[in-house]
Amino acid sequence: MGESGRHDVILEAHGLVRGFVSGRVRTPVLDGLDLAVRAGELTLISGPSGCGKSTLLAILSGLLRPEAGRVGALGEDLWALDPHALDRFRLHHTGFVFQGFNLFPALTALEQVQLPLGYLGLDAHVARARAVAALHEVGLGHRLRLRPAELSGGEKQRVAIARAVAKHPRLLFADEPTSALDGVNGAAVIDILHRVARTHDAAVLCVSHDPRLHAHADRIVTMEDGRILADLRAPAAPHASRQGTTA
């Protein structure tokens, strides 16, 4: 993991504040939080349910506006962008992986991955080539023609990762990507995300409350009550390629 230290900070938050109001009661979620994330690394945001992990991810990815503070992403002041520019930034520079897979039942794995590339204005042949390459990258080159009902849970999540990776994003956000998977498949998925960070020089930010994933991250940021409790480099661990792994 030593080589990842040379990568630049491409995502940073300063003084993030966010709360939610119910009636006359305001519940604070983030309390002046600062964070810097480097390219080429998988950063794991860990902590108990309700500590602000998913809120932080939503703000950093441009999905939820903070009440105060700023987010710098790839040289842009994210929340200073107008809505159209913010949409374009997310389209061209970010990828998302969620716990629910979000796949279309009628589409094959190849069609799932290729579909979003049309919004980038890519030629159909280029889009197909990117989609095929992304599915091979996650070990599903032999499952291109299958629909979600024919895939295991781990395979569905790998299709979702391929869909995000095919855009060649510099910022990849994963919200509880292993919560619907068993331990073996969850480890395989997080290992793929780690490899994506290295091979694409992307900043991969993963939210999870699962402590089994700690060994597969470069860095572990632990949150509690809307603040960062600890920010540690993960101990060195083998990250062998598992493209042949069945998940």
Q: Calculate the average pLDDT of the chain.
A: 89
pLDDT at 234: 66
The rounded Cα 44 to chain-centroid distance in angstroms is 10
pLDDT at 143: 95
Sheet order of strands, 25-38 included: 25-38, 9-22, 68-73, 76-77
> Could you tell me the domains of the chain?
2-10+38-62+82-233 (3.40.50.300)
pLDDT at 101: 87
Q: Distances from the Cα of 129 to the Cαs of 57, 132, 141, 192, in angstroms? A: 30, 5, 12, 20
Q: Are 170 and 74 in contact (CB under 8 A)?
A: yes
Split at pLDDT 50, 70, 90, the class of 185 is confident
pLDDT at 100: 85
Split at pLDDT 50, 70, 90, the class of 24 is confident
pTM comes to 0.89
Question: What are the tens digits of pLDDT across the range 74-131?
Answer: 999 999 999 999 999 999 999 999 888 899 999 999 999 999 999 999 999 999 999 9
pLDDT at 243: 40
pLDDT surpasses 90 at 207: yes
Average pLDDT estimate for 7-23: 92
pLDDT at 242: 39
Percent of the chain exceeding pLDDT 90 equals 73
Q: Are 45 and 206 in contact (CB under 8 A)?
A: yes
pLDDT at 6: 55
pLDDT at 202: 96
